[in-house]
Amino acid sequence: MTATADKHTAEKHTAEKHTPDKHTAKQQTAQPALSALQIKSVGQGIMRVDGPQKVTGTAPYAYEQPVKNPAYLFPLVSGIGLGHIKRIEDKAAREVEGVLEILTHRNAYKLQPSRSAELQLLQSPEVHYKGEIIGAVIAETPYAARYAASLVNILYNEAEQDTRFVFTHPELYTPKKINAGGPADRHMGDSKAALKTAAHVTDAKFSHTMQFHSAMEPHSAMAEWHPEKGVTLYDASQGAGTWKAMLAPLLGLEPEQLHIVSPFVGGGFGSKGVPHAPTVLALLAAQLVAPRPVKLMLTRQQHFANVGYRPEIHQHFQLGADAQGKLTAIVQNVTETTSKLLEFAEQTVSPTRMMYAAPGRETTTRLVPLDLPPATFMRAPGEFPGMFALEIAMDEMAEACGLDPIEFRLLNEPERDPENGKPFSVRLLRECLEQGAKQFGWNGRKAPGQHQEGEWLYGMGVASATYPHHKPQATCGVVYGKGQYQVQLAAADLGTGAWTILGQIAADALEVPLEQIDLQIGDSDLPAAGLAGGSMGTYSWSNAIYHAARAFRKEHGEHPKAGAQAEGKAINTEEAEAHSKHTFGAHFAEVKVSSVTGEVRATRMLGIYDAGRIINPRTARSQFLGGMTMGISAALHEEAYLDTRFGHVVNHDFAGYHIAAHADVPELSVEWLDVPDPQFGPLGAKGIGEVGIVGVPAAISNAIYNATGKRLRDLPFTPAKLLEH
């Protein structure tokens, strides 16, 4: 994989270089002035401070934390999809040398009620889905634990399970709300009437199978339960403070009795955003053999049932436009699967509600409850599946109107957020599309099926991308001593570069050299900060760091005494609340398609982003490239095969569930406009972790159509689907 920026290097991307048009300039001057900071570290491509630890293998991840005399845990998982445990035959397992205890619902610690049924682990003999954790073997070595687990025989009273997705499911229902808090349904204007009178109408259906996070670091945990001192949990967590708030009440502990440590996380993509059953299993096992610590690491196969996934989603889009190509109707009806054990309603309709304007608008969400594992948020929840379908539908309508896809999108750019009527803080999608078209060579694009070289058909596609602002709470503490400023907050670094960029932000906020910053993160005992997720970490944490630094200087001046300290919280201003705040971008893709086999290869891609102020070009580029790579993987490779007879994913490992490898990733180019958005916070930085994946599958689908004249609407875009057309 290569990343090129041609002559436009990241270090040269400035607001002056990418001057907004007249409309955008007016929009910009309406914003409050950026808080006066002496920018020195921010904007510099500083290498990762944690890089040496990671490449030398000395960065301690959850499973590698140094503890004395740990025991090891291997889960027992259900062999049926629904029913209850009748009998557990574990005599042979207990006789294995090194086995300490076998944990089941019969001897598990009594948990307190919680809103998450997924966390009520081993509290009854009930089985809710195939592969559910129903116990564990605790032993002196991981090998003894795993071998003994294979000897445990579990007998069940099995019930008839339901795992098949059908639109006419008798229990189909409307959720009270969708993930992130919006309503399931929204109706504005008369969409049915608008479709009847539209000059152009398109009607299409889209789908994708379950998708799995598949982070490089497997889910792991280590727990120590001390009757006097409380509980220490080392876990791969996207937010130690958030986990503490969820787990302490579950365990019947006071907050100060639970300490969560998570300094390094090897990828999460949402699966480590909230605690899942394996974390609770480690805590229950540690209580059983206390005060001895217990280690747990899931196998890759166990991930597919126990740490969440993106659910199967089907969408029906109808668009109407007038003779000039202005949208008059947008209808999106979404049907998704959800677990009967724990509801999760992906916010697939959210981007449609704000992306393009039309007088008639309808967005609905329906859920099909099945006997499957609980789903959870996965990178760009809502925006990824929603924009995948919307941006293909926009291309179809552009063709129906006889307009270029970019021209059609620009024609339908809204003046204000169509959902709430608020002005956008900074929306430079127009600039992303126009600049990207020039750089990608869009004017060389040919009609569908007209560019062929040998067996290969070539095509270009485009798609818009967006991701919203969220407003989590964050607090930062600053303590001075021995010439160093300890900057403390319970943030998490998932490999995104937080260890580096938060130090840069703190240095400029305190107006000191970067060498004087002692950053402390990844610990629940530090001041609370929101999750590293939802593309909200950097701007919320930097907001807190900035206000903590200002408070520190106000209280202690430029020459503080040892022990001086102050605290600051992220502030959401009334001015910011009056605006609709989003990151935007445009994805351009070129593909080649074999006319013989139907194989699709992405040959080059460009992502260009309106992402506010870029804190560190190195880490930002890495985030954008990672998102684009993940989008290519989802578009062309990742396909889960659910065996509906038993309720499990058959290809539950990397041998069968293919993730894009280096050979699958083409030349990737990344650009950004670097125009700060002050409504996101004092630094004007927007979220960047999710927007890189959002439009990629749609851009690839649109490129496949340009190459072949065949429209693919079901992820992933495999040769079989092309040959079916």
State pLDDT tens for residues 294-338.
999 999 999 999 999 999 999 999 999 999 999 999 999 999 999
Residue 339 within any structural domain of the chain: no
- pTM of model > 0.85: yes
* CA 386 vs CA 376, 466, 641: distances in Å: 16, 10, 22
Identify residue 187 by its one-letter amino acid code. H
- H or E element, residue 498: helix 498-510
Torsion of CA 708, 661, 693, 701, to 10 degrees: 10
| Same domain for 585 and 660 | yes
23 and 2 in a single domain? The answer is: yes
Q: How big is the CA angle at 353 (ends 349 and 354), to the nearest 5 degrees? A: 130
Helix/strand number for the chain, H first, E second: 19, 28
355 vs 291: CA distance, rounded Å: 54
Number of domains in the chain: 2
Residues sharing a CB contact under 8 Å with residue 450, sequence separation 6 or more, in sequence order: none
Structural domain span for residue 53: 33-60+472-571
How many of the other CB atoms lie within 10 Å of CB of 557?
10
Q: Is residue 112 part of a domain?
A: no
Amino acid 8: pLDDT: 36
333 located within any domain: no
Contact 13, 673 (CB under 8 A): yes
pLDDT band of residue 100 (cuts 50, 70, 90) is very high
Give the whole-angstrom CA distance, residue 601 versus residue 593: 6
722 within a domain of the structure (yes/no): yes
pLDDT band at 724 (very low <50, low <70, confident <90, very high): confident
Q: How many other C-beta atoms can be found within 10 angstroms of the C-beta atom of residue 207?
A: 17
In this predicted structure, what is the pLDDT of residue 471?
85
Among residues 571, 606, 633, which one ends one of the domains? 571
Instruction: Answer yes or no: is pLDDT of 31 > 50.
Output: no
Q: SS3 of 332, please? A: strand
pLDDT at residue 37 in the model: 60
Per-residue pLDDT for 107 more than 80? yes
Q: 508 and 466, same structural domain?
A: no
At residue 342, the pLDDT reads 98
Strands 600-610 and 582-594: what pairing? antiparallel
Co-location of 39 and 21 in the same domain:
no
- Strand 294-297 to strand 258-261: parallel, antiparallel, or no bridges (unpaired)? unpaired
Sheet hosting strand 600-610, strand order edge to edge: 2-4, 667-672, 600-610, 582-594, 456-468, 452-453
Q: Do 562 and 683 reside in the same domain of the chain?
A: no
Task: Say if residue 618's pLDDT is above 70.
Answer: yes
Provide the terminal-to-terminal Cα distance of the chain, rounded to the nearest Å: 31
Compute CA distances 156 → 107, 126, 219, 418, 520, whole Å.
18, 10, 28, 53, 49
Catalytic residues: 690
651 with 697, same domain: the answer is yes
Q: Are residues 487 and 426 in the same domain?
A: no
- Does residue 30 have a pLDDT over 50? no
Given 548, 571, 594, the domain boundary residue is 571
567 in the same domain as 547: yes
Looking at the structure, tell me whether residues 672 and 718 fall in a common domain.
yes
pLDDT above 50 for 451: yes
Tell me, yes or no, whether 443 lies in a domain.
yes
Residue 592 lies inside a defined structural domain of this protein: yes
pLDDT in tens, 202-220: 999 999 999 999 999 999 9
Q: What are the structure tokens assigned to 24, written together? A: 């955008």
CATH number at residue 688: 3.30.365.10
Residue 102 lies in a domain: no
> What span, in angstroms and rounded, lies between the C-alpha atoms of 195 and 319?
7
Same domain assignment for residues 613 and 706: yes
Strands 714-715 and 200-208: parallel
Give dist(CA 596, CA 343) in Å, integer.
44
**530 plus 598 within the same structural domain:** no
Three-state DSSP class for residue 362: strand
Q: Which tens digit of pLDDT belongs to each residue from 34-89?
A: 345 677 899 999 999 999 999 999 999 999 999 999 999 999 999 999 999 999 99
Confidence of residue 19 (pLDDT cuts 50, 70, 90): very low
21: CB partners within 8 A, 6+ apart: 430, 431
141-179 residue pLDDT tens: 999 999 999 999 999 999 999 999 999 999 999 999 999
Asked whether residue 317 is assigned to any structural domain, the reply reads no
Q: What is the pLDDT of residue 9?
A: 35
Q: Render pLDDT for 544-559 as a digit per residue (tens, 0 to 9).
A: 999 999 999 999 999 9
Q: Look up tokens 């180019």; give the residue.
A: 669
Residue where one domain finishes, among candidates 547, 571, 595: 571
What confidence score (pLDDT) does residue 546 get? 95
Q: What is the DSSP letter of 91?
A: H
* Residue 615 CA to its chain's centroid (Å): 20
CA distances from 136 to 30, 75, 111, 151, 282 (A): 60, 4, 17, 12, 9
514 and 657 together in one domain: no
**Tens of pLDDT, residues 4-14:** 333 333 333 33
